[in-house]
Amino acid sequence: MLKESEIESCYLGQFIPVHYHHNMLMDQNRMHGFKSAIHYAVKPGMKVLELGGGTGVLSWFAAQQADKVYCVEFNPDMVAEARRFMGLNPNGHKVEVVHADAFEYLPPEPVDVVICEMIHVAMLREKQVQVIEAFKQRYLARFGGPLPTFLPEAAIMAVQPLQQEYDFEGFHAPIVQFQETGVIYPGTVEISAPQVYSILDFTQPSELAISWEGKFLVDKSGTLNALRFVTKNVLAVVQERGTTIDWLNHYMTLPLRQPVPVHAGDVVRIGFQYRAGGSIPSLEATMVAEVVYDSATADAAAAAPQPQRAHALA
């Protein structure tokens, strides 16, 4: 069997194929959020670095204000495409597309802003956390502090218990699903409200190992058979308004191996662990859910007649 690192090299990792980028360019939430955050964070005269640039669109957003943008991309096909696209767009000449590994590259000069969008739901598969951590160490060793501003600045991750339908024209297939946010899906029942399980601040050291256990009060009776993972990327903090510019990834719903019947009022314990940048199956294999408080049993016990104590005659 292949090791996890070998399996991941066959998928996204740091090497996203050209045809996949069309989906990202068409994702209006992603594009509008990054454009707004970059226009806020990048000021005239700044130097900017993008790690994992792909088509170069985020570098191009930065080039509308920055003096110089270094756009680092590892896939040679994407390097050629990004260079071609820069020639088709105004201010594209300010973007230097560099064919290099984001794990190893350092710009020839200090930069003000670092853009890195190697982001997957729950920080799985892609190597955002590893790339940023490695970059910070190399940058401080060569240029000293302070570190540049990172965009995104942080990621907030939450989990939610669900009852998820897995019937496809009569074919039962519990499988990973990605769902758009803000859409009501008839086959999805929210068993309980989501809870935050991790906050990554990219200006601070980030641990790769993520382990969590929490309890949920069940709001709706049903069968708990899936966990929804929610990732909100804080692209920029707008200090003067006390707000943030965010990008919410598609929801990722993973099936539980052992579905659990639940009733409103129950309390369930959910736990899991994984490594940032790891595979989806590596998370699925650790997911557990169990009822730790059965409301039906507790109600039955409370309603049962209580034995009377015998009173001694005076």
Tens of pLDDT, residues 196-243:
999 999 999 999 999 999 999 999 999 999 999 999 999 999 999 999
Question: 100: which 2 tokens?
Answer: 């290099």
pLDDT at 89 over 90: yes
DSSP 205: -
Q: State phi, psi for 7 to the nearest 5 degrees.
A: -60, -45
Model confidence pLDDT, tens digit, residues 18-62: 778 888 999 999 999 999 999 999 999 999 999 999 999 999 999
The dihedral built from the CA positions of residue 204, 208, 212 and 218, taken in this order, carries a sign that is: positive
Q: Which helix (H) or strand (E) holds 303?
A: helix 295-303
- The Cα diameter of the chain in Å comes to 104
C-alpha 41/C-alpha 153 separation (Å) is: 11
How many C-beta neighbours within 10 Å does residue 144 have?
9
CA dist., res. 241 & res. 106, Å (int): 33
At 11, the pLDDT band (50, 70, 90 cuts) reads very low
Chain-centroid distance, C-alpha 77: 26
What mean pLDDT do residues 178-201 have?
Answer: 96
Number of alpha carbons in the 13 Å side-chain half-sphere of residue 39 = 10
Question: Cis (ω within 30 of 0) for the bond into 305?
Answer: no
Provide the whole-model pTM. 0.89
**pLDDT score recorded for residue 10:** 43
Residue-wise pLDDT for 250-301, tens only, equals 999 999 999 999 999 999 999 999 999 999 999 999 999 999 999 877 765 5
Query: What is the CA 264 to chain-centroid distance, rounded?
Result: 29
Answer yes or no: is pLDDT of 306 > 80. no
Structure tokens at 301: 């016990």
For residue 314, is pLDDT > 50?
no
Residue 16: per-residue pLDDT: 72
Quick one: what percent of the chain has pLDDT higher than 90? Answer: 85
| Residue 308 pLDDT | 53
